[in-house]
Amino acid sequence: MYPESLAFLTCSRHPEVRLVLDAGAHYTADGAILRGRVRCAVCRTRYPIHDGILDLLGPLSLPDSLTQFINSLTLTAWGYERLWRGRALTLLAGESFGYNRELPLIAGLAAPNRGGLFVDVACSNGLCARAIERARWGAAGHTIGIDHSLPMLRQARAFARARDLRISYVRAKAQALPISAGSVAGLVMGGSLNEIGDADAALAELHRVLAPDGRCVMMGLGQAATTPGRAIQGVLRVGGVEFWPLPEMNRRLAVAGLRLRAQWQYGVVVFSVLIAR
């Protein structure tokens, strides 16, 4: 993680209190904090930074579902982008939808050239975070990737460093984002809402941290319209993945206080642009 992220990072137990870096931290040549600890001034809880990643969950935090357990495996983290993610949207959308189409769409809708803090929530290997950071075009600000899986975050940081991208990575849950209220110019979530667990709590957190003039770009999966598609989704539900009809998905967004500005659907893949009400 990088020192500039500390202007926004807060304690998971006290989201109104910013975290403070303890003395004695170790840095890399590009200024990243490689090892150290941050603390909350209220509850005095200290959180470790290992290998450049801030861990707010600790070793006792367990996955909430089978899908989250699988995503916590080192092998899954290694193969996620290398073997699966680049093909996923094409299979789900029923038309060609590779990185060269998806990433410019997400970055263009998020518009990081506006500057400010951008957060990739449930970032996995940090694909969207990297797309956001590349599309800043020199605009001031910082990008933070957040995920519950430490192996995913390690892979995300390795990918970012290999491309000389200055992105901070934090281990935390979407239902308790360690980000100051109203501080985020842009949120992105690429396909994780379906498997995140308590989706309503996560959406409420997105609303809490989004700035009044900020925007949220979300890619999610709707309920399949075909019998084979619904059968496959039924199997995936056993592992903790949820699929909603589009009206139900939009209802949940509205209840969380997120106002829908635009939406596109390709097969079961749904892209939404949202703002805080």
What is the per-residue pLDDT across 205-258, written as a single tens digit (0 to 9) for each? Answer: 999 999 999 999 999 999 988 888 888 889 889 899 999 999 999 999 999 999
CB-based burial of residue 139 (10 Å sphere; 0-12 exposed, 13-18 middle, 19+ buried)? middle
Contact 181, 209 (CB under 8 A): yes
- 259 three-class SS: strand
When pLDDT is averaged across residues 5-25 and rounded to a whole number, the result is 95
The answer to whether residue 51 is domain-embedded is no
Percentage of the chain surpassing pLDDT 70? 100
Collect all residues with Cβ–Cβ distance below 8 Å to 125 and sequence separation of at least 6.
Answer: 77, 80, 81, 85, 152, 155, 156, 159
Q: What's the CA gap between 85 and 122, in Å, rounded?
A: 14
Whichever domain contains 201, its CATH number is: 3.40.50.150
Q: Tokens for 116, please give them.
A: 């400010």
pLDDT tier at 94 (50, 70, 90 boundaries)?
Answer: confident
The Cα–Cα gap between 226 and 204 comes to 31
30 within a domain of the structure (yes/no): no
Q: What is the rounded distance in angstroms from the CA atom of residue 160 to the CA atom of residue 237?
A: 32
Q: Is 17 domain-assigned?
A: no
9-26 average pLDDT score = 94
The answer to the question of residue 8 being in a domain is: no
Whole-number Å distance between alpha carbons of 122 and 102 = 17
Q: What is the pLDDT of residues 146-193, one digit of tens each?
A: 999 999 999 999 999 999 999 999 999 999 999 999 999 999 998 889
Query: Would you say residue 259 lies in a domain?
Result: yes
Residue at 38 is within a domain: no
d(CA 56, CA 14): 12
How far apart, in Å, do the first and last CA atoms of the chain sit? Answer: 31
Q: What is the pLDDT of residue 183?
A: 97
Report which secondary-structure segment, H or E, holds 139: none
Q: How confident is the model at residue 62 (pLDDT cuts 50, 70, 90)?
A: confident
Tell me what pLDDT residue 60 has.
84
Task: Let me know if residue 149 belongs to a domain.
Answer: yes
Question: Cα 135–253–194 angle (5° rounding)?
Answer: 75
Cα separation of 40 and 21, whole Å? 9
Average pLDDT, the chain: 94
Domain that holds residue 102: 56-276
Residue 267: in which H helix or E strand, if any? none
What tokens does 169 get? 């990575």
H or E element that contains 190: strand 184-190
Given this model, what pLDDT does residue 155 score?
98
Query: What crossing angle do the helices spanning 150-162 and 127-134 adopt, rounded to 10°?
Result: 30
How does residue 82 score in pLDDT terms, banded at 50, 70 and 90? Answer: very high
Four-residue CA torsion sign, 55, 116, 2, 121: positive
Q: What is the pLDDT of residue 232?
A: 86
- Give a yes or no: residue 23 inside a domain: no
Tokens standing for residue 75: 């092998």
pTM strictly above 0.75: yes
Tokens describing residue 136: 């800043």
Structurally, the chain folds into a number of domains equal to 1
